[in-house]
Amino acid sequence: MGDYVLIPKPGSKINLKDYDPDYHGNEDKSSAQKEIQVLQDEMQEFQERLYAEGKQSLLIVLQAMDTGGKDGAIKKVFEGINPQGVHVAAFKAPTPEELAHDFLWRVHQHIPQKGHIGIFNRSHYEDVLVVRVNNLVPESVWKHRYEHINHFERLIADSGTRILKFYLHISKDEQKKRLQARLDTPEKNWKFSSGDLPVRQQWNDYMKAYESVLERCNTEYAPWYIIPANAKWYRDLVITRAIVAALKDMRPAYPPPEPDLDKIVIPD
């Protein structure tokens, strides 16, 4: 396999079999860990500027199969970041109240406010993934959602939110190892859910549903990254790089100080 295309060209046909989940370029774990630390210092500085500036926000969407590493990436990538100004939203099966609204209703309220970073652990994409694979609504309903999502993300982007979407791509074999580890390691037992097994049986259907997402909702204003995620260190490195590059590009700036600060005397 040759070069790995991290962000496919918008509109291009995607076959996930062309993307090697084991890919890690010619990089190695120990230099990756050092680079992540350096990048995290930069991320902290940018986050402070973003917060102080209060004019733009950053939304990070994480999607993956079970055990794909969404929780692990959140824990690692945002290590050391100031919790003030960061908001993680995890999307589970919708409540009756959520189901009584349109599918974006519950999502919209978690879009990060100006100055903040928002992290989605699963997202509105579940409504064209699990929902499509299991026919939770008829095709006549879910088929329009790609367009709804694109319009929604356009609104968010036009309102000052930079959007980065990461699909963590693991292999079916790697998932087996990770599920087994959840059975074998007492500290991981709580993460094992027998409900994940029937989902694993639907692997190929899910890959097809992900391919549709990557083909139809990969836009200039809200790009999808296909992250090779069998190697956790490489996954974290690539995500951290992408976030720091986006923050750099956003150029958040400290607001100007009040005038004549040098003339102010703090009273006793």
154 touching ligand AMP, by CB under 6 A = no
127 touching ligand AMP, by CB under 6 A = yes
Q: List strand residue ranges (DSSP E) for 53-153, in order.
A: 57-64, 86-90, 117-121
Q: What is the rounded CA–CA span in Å between residue 171 and residue 244?
A: 27
Q: Which is nearer to Mg ion, 14 or 179 (CB)?
A: 179
Quick one: residue 160, left, alpha or beta (phi over 0 = left, psi -120 to 50 = alpha)? left
72 touching ligand AMP, by CB under 6 A = no
Q: What is the DSSP string of 257-268?
A: PPTTGGG-----
Q: Which is nearer to ligand AMP, 46 or 120 (CB)?
A: 120
Q: Which is nearer to ligand AMP, 6 or 199 (CB)?
A: 199
Cβ-closest residue to ligand AMP? 126
Taking the complex as a whole, the smallest distance from the CB of residue 266 to ligand AMP amounts, in Å, to: 50
With beta carbons less than 8 A apart as the criterion, state whether 229 and 169 touch. yes
146 touching ligand AMP, by CB under 6 A = no
88 makes contact, choosing from ligand AMP, Mg ion, none, with CB < 5 to 8 Å by partner type, with: none
236 makes contact, choosing from ligand AMP, Mg ion, none, with CB < 5 to 8 Å by partner type, with: none
Applying CB under 6 A, the residues found at the interface with ligand AMP are 91-94, 122, 126-127, 130-131, 136
